[in-house]
Every structure is written in structure tokens, then in C-alpha cells.
Amino acid sequence: MQRILANEADTQKLAHELAMMDIAGSVWLSGDLGTGKTTLTRYWLQALGHTGAVKSPTYTLVEPYQLMTKAGVKPVYHADLYRLNDPEELDFIGFFEYFDEPDSLVIIEWASRADSILPPPDVTIHLTRLDDDTRQVTITDHRNQHKGV
């Protein structure tokens, strides 16, 4: 799926659509600095029911959220691996345990910094800034590819 985001309202609408998809597993967000990865994540968390501030995990690597949904508590982890020095650091912080939680959603910015040790993504979202300052978003759902693997 591809789409053009002309403004923040478009980004917010996309985030609501992502929330309705009830994604669990790993979502990799990619794109250059300033393309809106954190903004999209902020709106996505709000669409999932988060009411507080959404901090960028640039320095902490991961920000955890426990969101109340109709189905119960949904653990969501927002990771930003831009400042990751060595992918093995993820083992030390217990990062891989997030994937073991039932119905967890792990949103990872800059997953390419650790793609050699991360499980494959369930969904990828790539943002590109166009010349007119709009964003082109490409969403690829890999969930059916993982079945039977």
C-alpha cells in the first residue's frame, strides 16, 4: 500500500488506520531523519488509546507502553535504534523478551542498525520526503509470508 501524506492530519488518519489493523509483532519504520517516523508513532500510540506524552526513545532505546484495548492490555514498545553502537546490546537490555509477550507490538525505528539479529518484521513502513515536502508512505504487510516458516 502506498499513500501520500500532505500534512499532519493525513499522518493522524494513517495512524488511526494502523490502529484498526490490530497489528502484533514487529513493525519496522524506515526513512531518513526528519521524515516523520516518531510523529507517526506518536499518533499511532494515541489512536491505540495512549493519553500521555510520547517520548522519543532516541537515548533510552525503548519506551514501553501498556495500553488498554477492548481485548485487554496491549504491550507496545517503541524502539529507536539510531544510536545503537552494537546490535548485541539488545540482548543485554532484554529486548527480545518484548516479542514473547502475547499480543505485543514492537515499533522499531532504524531497525536496519540491528537487522542481522532482529526477527523479521511483520510489517514495514517506509517514509520518504518528496520535493514538495509531502511524505510518501509505503506499507508492506509480511504477516502472511511468516506463516508456516
Residues 94-108: what's their mean pLDDT?
95
For position 149, what pLDDT does the model report?
43
Domain boundaries defined on the chain: 2-103+128-141
User: Quick one: fold of 2-103+128-141?
Assistant: Rossmann fold (3.40.50)
Is the pLDDT at 45 greater than 80? The verdict is yes
Q: Where are the beta strands (DSSP E) in 2-122?
A: 2-5, 25-30, 62-69, 72-80, 105-109
pLDDT per position as a tens digit, 47-75: 999 998 888 888 889 999 999 877 788 99
pLDDT per position as a tens digit, 74-90: 999 999 999 998 999 99
Residue owning grid cell 522499531: 108
Look up the pTM and report it: 0.92
Residues 21-33: what's their mean pLDDT?
93
Mean pLDDT score of the chain: 92
Is the pLDDT at 134 greater than 70? The verdict is yes
Three-state SS for 37?
helix
For position 22, what pLDDT does the model report?
85
Core vs surface per residue 29-41: b (16+ CB within 10 A) or e: bbbeeebbbbbbb
